[in-house]
Chains A and B, each alone.
Chain A
Amino acid sequence: MIAENFDYSAPNTVEEALQLIAKGGKVLAGGMSLVPLMKLRLAAPEHLVDLGRVAALNGITEDKGSIVIGSMTTHHQLESSALLRASCPLLAETASLIGDVQVRNMGTIGGSVAHADPAADYPAALLALEAKVRLVKSSGDRTLAFSDFLIDSFTTALEEGELVREVVVPVETAGTGVSYQKMLQPASGFAIVGVAARIRKTAGKISFARIGVTGLSSCAFRAAAVEKLLEGTSGSEEEIGKAAAVVADGVDANSDIHASSNYRSQMARVYTARAIQAAVSRAA
C-alpha cells in the first residue's frame, strides 16, 4: 500500500484513544474499508489511531438480557461465538456472510457500523434486532438506538472525538425465528440486497415481525410496512409474498454496474420473502 504519509498510534486504553482522536486522529478499526481508500489515496488521514490493542473494546458478554459486543470484536469472533450463536443467532449468521475469511478476521463490528457503507450487512440485522449503540467521548457516554445512530450513506450520529464503544443486542426471545438472506455482489461480496428477519408466532399467527433491509438504497432501513402486513397472518407463502412485495415501495433504489434499481427492488422483494420464509420456518 503506497498511501500518503500518516502518523500511527496504537493506544491500549479507551481514554488514551479518546485523547488521540480528540486531537484529530482518525480511527482505524480493522481497516477493511479505510485501508483500501488510503491505498487509492481517496482517504489521506494524517494520524491513524489503531484501536486494535484496546482490550476493553474487544469481546462478547451477556449482561441482564442483553448481549454486549465490544466495537473491536471481529466478524469472525461474532460468527464463531457460542454465546452469540445461542443467544442472538441472527447477528452471528449475518457476520458469517460478510466478505471472505480474511475480511472477517480483520474487520470489526464497530468499524463497520461507524463506516456506514450502504451495502454493509450488519445494519439489516441491527435494525431488525432493535440494537443499541453505546458511544463514548471524553465528556461521557451516550446510548443511541441503532436506528438513530445510522443517518445515511457513510453518515452516522458519531460526533467529533466520539467512538463506538459497544453494540448492544437483545438476548433473543425463545421461539423467535431469525434469518439473514443476501444476494451478494460477486466481486466485492457486499450485499446487492440483504434482508434480516425476526419472526415470532403466537397461537399460529405471526405476532412479532422485524425486518431490516440493506443494500437497496442509500441507507439501511426497517421495513415497517412489511412488518405490519405480516403481523396477524399465519405466515403462509402467499401472505409472505404479499408482505414482501411492498418492501421497495417508495424507496429510491440504488443503481450501479452490478444491478439496476429495478432489479435491485425486485431482488429486495425476493430476498425479503426468503428471509421471512426462513425465519417463519425456524420460529417455534
Chain B
Amino acid sequence: MATTITKPETLVGKRIRRKEDPRLITGTATYVDDIQMPGMHHACIVRSPHAAARIKGIHVKAALELPGVTAVFTGADTKDVGPVPCGASLPGLRVPHHHILAVDRVYFVGHPVAVVVATDRYIARDAADRIEVDYEVLPAVADPEKAIAAGAPAVHPEWPDNVAFHFHQEGGEVDKAFAEAEVVVKERITSQRLIPTSIETRGVVADWNTGDKSLTIYSSSQIPHLLRTLLAMMLGLPEHHTRVVVPEVGGGFGSKLNVYAEEALMGFVAMKIGKPVKWIESRRENYLCTIHGRGHVDYFELAARKDGTMVGLKLKLIQDLGAYHQLLTPAIPTLSVLMMPGLYRFKNIRADIAGVFTNCVPTDAYRGAGRPEATHGIERMVDILAAELKMDPAEIRLKNFIQPEEFPFSTGTGLIYDSGNYDLPLKKAMEIVDYKGLRKQQNDSRKQGRLMGVGISSYGEICAFGPSPATPAGGWECATVRVDPQGKVTVGTGASPHGQGEETTFAQIAADELGVDLDDVLVVHGDTAVVPYGIGTFGSRGTAVGGPALYYALQKLKEKITKFGAMLLDSESVSYSGGCCTCSKTGKSVTLGEIAGASYRAMKLPEGEAPGLEATYFWEPPNFTFPFGAHVAVTEIDRETGKVKVARYVAVDDCGRIVNPLLVDGQVHGGVAQGLGQALYEQAVYDDSGQLLSGELTDYAIPKATMMPWIESHHTETPSPVNPLGVKGVGEAGTIGCSPALVNSVVDALSPLGVRHIDMPLTPEKIWNLLQGGQQ
C-alpha cells in the first residue's frame, strides 16, 4: 500500500502547451492525403465551368481509353444515391433535390458533373480533361438582391421567385416601440461572402470491404458520427457497417461541419470498383465547391429615446443561400436573428429573413455562423445611434447593457442568457487603452488633419450548441473514460476536436479529477469505431458540451473507483483524491493503478459491481452558454491612399471559466485574424455570370502574419451556471468581436467627413473614394 500523494495544484486554469503539438510540428501527424492503401485508386471530378446550364451530353469514351483509367461515372449512374442532406428545417422551406453528380442541369460554377477513377492521380486528371460535356448555357444570377428582383433568371426553374424561404420572428411590442421612439436610425449593412480557407482542403478516402460488405470513409470532417449516419442513409448501407475515421484535420472553421457530395461519391465509387479510392480537393475546387460563409444584406432600423435608451430593432435580412442547401444553410441566418439584440436590454424585435437562391456555391456555417453578422449589425447600429445622438459609443453601451442582477435574462428572441457582467470587459478594455486619453489624442490629431479612430464592439454570442430540441441532430455530447490495468487513462470523446486542443484541455480535466499526471491521460476522438456516438466540434461546443460530458463520466468512474478502493482497504470510510483511495480511519491508501489492476483481475468485486474501470456519460445541456466581451480597435487612415493602419487592438473576452489560458489566447488570436480578414481584406467576388473572380489565394486575401496587429488579449471570468465546469466556449469569439470593432473604428476616424457607415471589406479604394467626397 502506497502512502497518500497530494497533488499540490490543479491543471485546469494553467497555461499548458498542447499535447498534440509534437506530432503536428514534427510532421508525424496523419492527414487524409497521407493515407496510402494497397490497390488504392484516385478520383478526379469534372466540374461545370458555367453557373447555369443544361447538360446536353457527356462524352466519356476518350477518357475511358486512356490507360490506367478504371471507370467514369456521371449523374446517370449516381442518381439513385440519396441527395446531399439539408439538416435544417424551416416552415415552408423549399429544398432542391441535391444530387451528388448533376443529372441534367448545373447550378453553379464547380458543380460536379462526372468522376474519373484511375490508378494514379495524374492519369485521373488527364482523363478528366478528355471528358467533353455539351452545355446549353443559361442565364445566371449571382447577387441575392438581383435574384429577388423582377425578371431575374430562376436558379431553380420550379421556383421562379428564387426564394427558398421566408422566416419571421417577433418579440415584444415592436410597432408600439417604434411609434413611441424619439429617434429611429436606419442603415443597410452587408456581411460579404467569405471563403473559409482552411489550410488543408477537403479530402476523402473510401475503402469498401467486399467480403464483409463494410465501408470505411476517411474524411477531413468536424462531425464523424453525423457523417456516418447521413452517409449510410445516402448510400443505403446499415450504419453498423459504415465507419467514419477523421484523421488530423488542417482547419475546418465550419466548412467541414457538413456532408458533401464528394464524401458519398467516393463511397459510391469504392463500392463500384471494389478498391479503395482517394480524392483530394485542389485549392481551386476548395474555393469553388466548399461552402462559403456570410452573404448577408441586412436592413436595420433601431429605435431609441433621446437619452440613448434603445427600445426596438427591426431587421430585414436577405441571405444569399447559393444554389442548394448544404447541411445547415437555411439555419445560419436564423442564428443571426437570435443574437440580433446583442447585449442590450430592449425586447422589442422583429426580423424577416428572405433566404434567396443564387447560382453560387452554397453558404453555410463559417466561424461564428450567423453571430458575426448579427453582432456586426447591432454594433454598427449602436454606433450610428450614438453618432445621431452625439453620445459617446461607450456610454451608450453601458447605458443599455443587461445588468448582472437580471440574469438569467429572457431576450426578445426567446433565448435565456445564462450569466453575464457586460460592464466588466468594456470597462477593462477602456482602462487598458486609456479611453479618455485616446479621445483627447484623437481630438488633437484631428486638429493636425489626421484621421484617427477608436472603435468599440461589445459582443455577445451563443455557444455550446446546444439543447437537443434547439438543434437539427441532437445537441448533447458523450465521453468515455477508461482506466487500463496499468492505471493509465484513455478518454474517448464524441466531440471531434480538429485543432482546438481538447486532447490537452480534456486531459487537464481528467487528470485533475482522477489525480493523475497529464501524461497519464490520452484523449482519442474522430473514429466512429473507437469512440461512442457524438455530435462533433462546431459552434464553440467542444469544451462547453464535450467537457461536461467528460466531467460527469469522471464522476461516475470515481464512484466505481471508490467502491473498489473501499473493498481493497476493507473500509467504509474511504475517499478518492490525489490518485489514491484513502481510508480516513487508518490512513492507508491504494493507488489508482492498484485499484485498476484489481478491477480487471477481478478476484473479488464490490457488491453489485462488474469488473473493469470504465464509464460512459451522455450529457444533454440544459441551455446554451452566452460568452461576451469587448474589443477596442484604434486605427489611423492614410489620407493619400485610404489604407487602414490598426494601431492598437485590445480584446477582453469572457468565455466563462478558462481551462487553458494559452489555448484561449490562441483561439482569440485566430478568431481576430479571421474577423480582421473580413473587415479589411476578404471577399468572394462573383461576376454577373456567376464566375468566381477571387478563385485563388492570389486573388482572395486572407491576412498573413505580417498583416496582423499585435493583439492585446485579456479576460474576465464569469462562470456559466449551465454546466459544472463553468465554461462557455471561445472558438468564435474573436471573429465575432473583431469586425465591428474595426469598422466602428474606421467610421469613427472618417466621421468628421460625415461618413456613418462603410461596408466590408474596408479596402483602401473604398475609403479613398469616401475621402474624395464620393460614394464607397
A188, B640: Cβ atoms under 8 Å?
A: no
Other-chain residue from A190, A258, A259, A270 in contact with B640 (beta carbon distance below 8 A) = A270
The interface residues of chain B lying within 8 Å CB-to-CB of A270 are: 640-641
Residues of B within 8 A of A (CB): 44, 121-122, 125-126, 129, 282, 284, 640-641, 681, 685, 693-694, 696-704, 707, 764-765, 768-769
- Chain A residues positioned under 8 Å from B768 (CB to CB): 263, 266
Asked if A4 is at the interface of the complex by the 8 Å CB criterion, the answer is yes
* Number of residue pairs spanning A and B whose beta carbons lie under 8 angstroms apart: 47
Contacts of A183 in B (CB 8 A): 641, 764
> Nearest residue in A to B640 (C-beta to C-beta)?
A270
Report the Cα distance A260→B694, complex, angstroms: 15
Across the two chains, which residue of chain B brings its CB closest to A266? Answer: B768
B122 partner residues in chain A, CB cutoff 8 A: 2, 5
Q: Check if A188 sits within 8 Å of B698, measured CB to CB.
A: yes
**A2 to B123 Cα, complex, angstroms:** 9
Q: List 22 A-B contacts (CB under 8 A).
A: A2-B122, A36-B698, A40-B696, A100-B704, A183-B641, A186-B703, A186-B707, A187-B681, A187-B697, A187-B698, A187-B699, A187-B702, A190-B698, A257-B685, A257-B693, A257-B694, A259-B765, A260-B765, A263-B769, A267-B641, A270-B640, A270-B641
| CB of A41 within 8 Å of the partner chain | yes
B129 in contact with A41 (CB, 8 Å): yes
Give the residues in chain B near A257, CB-CB below 8 Å. 685, 693-694, 699
* Residue on A nearest B707 in the bound complex, by CB: A186
Instruction: List residues of chain A with CB within 8 A of the CB of B769.
Output: 263
A residues with CB within 8 A of B:
2, 4-5, 36, 40-41, 100, 183, 185-188, 190, 257-260, 263, 266-267, 270
Q: How far is the CB of A189 from chain B (nearest CB, A)?
A: 9
Please measure, in the bound complex, the distance between the C-alpha atom of A186 and the C-alpha atom of B697, giving whole angstroms.
Answer: 10
The SS class assigned to the A binding surface is: loop
A187 B700 Cβ-Cβ under 8 A: yes
Q: Flag if A186 contacts B701 (CB, 8 Å).
A: yes
In the complex, A51 Cα to B205 Cα: how many Å?
Answer: 38
Q: Quick check: B699 and A2 within 8 Å, CB to CB?
A: no
Smallest CB–CB gap between A279 and chain B, Å?
A: 17
- Docked pose: A190 CA to B698 CA in angstroms: 9
Asked whether, in the complex, the Cβ of A188 is within 8 Å of the Cβ of B699, the reply is: yes
- A245 CB to closest chain B CB (Å) equals 13
Q: How far is the CB of A194 from chain B (nearest CB, A)?
A: 14
Q: How far is the CB of B121 from chain A (nearest CB, A)?
A: 6
B685 and A40 form a contact (CB under 8 A): no
CB distance from A150 to the nearest CB of B (A): 22
Residues of A within 8 A of B704 (CB): 100
In the assembled complex, the Cα of A266 lies from the Cα of B769 at a distance in Å of 11
Separation of A40 and B125 alpha carbons in the complex (Å): 11
The 8 lowest CB-CB distance pairs between A and B, nearest first, are: A187-B701, A186-B701, A188-B698, A263-B765, A2-B125, A270-B640, A257-B685, A257-B693
Point out the residues of chain A lying under 8 angstroms from B129, CB to CB. Answer: 4, 41
Q: Are A186 and B126 in contact (CB under 8 A)?
A: no
Measured CA separation A263–B767 after assembly (Å): 11
Q: A41-B129, A266-B768, A270-B640 are in contact. Are A2 and B694 (CB under 8 A)?
A: no
CB pair B282–A2 under 8 Å, yes or no, is yes
Q: Which of A4, A36, A258 has the most CB of B within 10 A?
A: A258
Most buried by B among A2, A41, A259: A2
Closest-by-CB residue of A relative to B769 is A263
Please report the C-alpha to C-alpha distance between residue A260 and residue B774 in the assembled complex, in whole angstroms. Answer: 15
CA distance A237 to B437 in the complex (A): 33
Residue in A41, A185, A188, A263 with the greatest tally of chain B CB atoms within 10 Å = A263
Residues in chain A near residue B284, CB distance under 8 A:
40
Q: Are B699 and A4 in contact (CB under 8 A)?
A: no
- Kindly list chain B residues whose C-beta atoms are within 8 Å of the C-beta of A2: 44, 121-122, 125, 282
A187 and chain B: residue at smallest CB distance? B701
| Least distance between A190 CB and chain B CB atoms (Å) | 8
Q: Who on chain B is nearest to A260 by CB? A: B765
* A75 vs chain B, min Cβ distance (A): 17
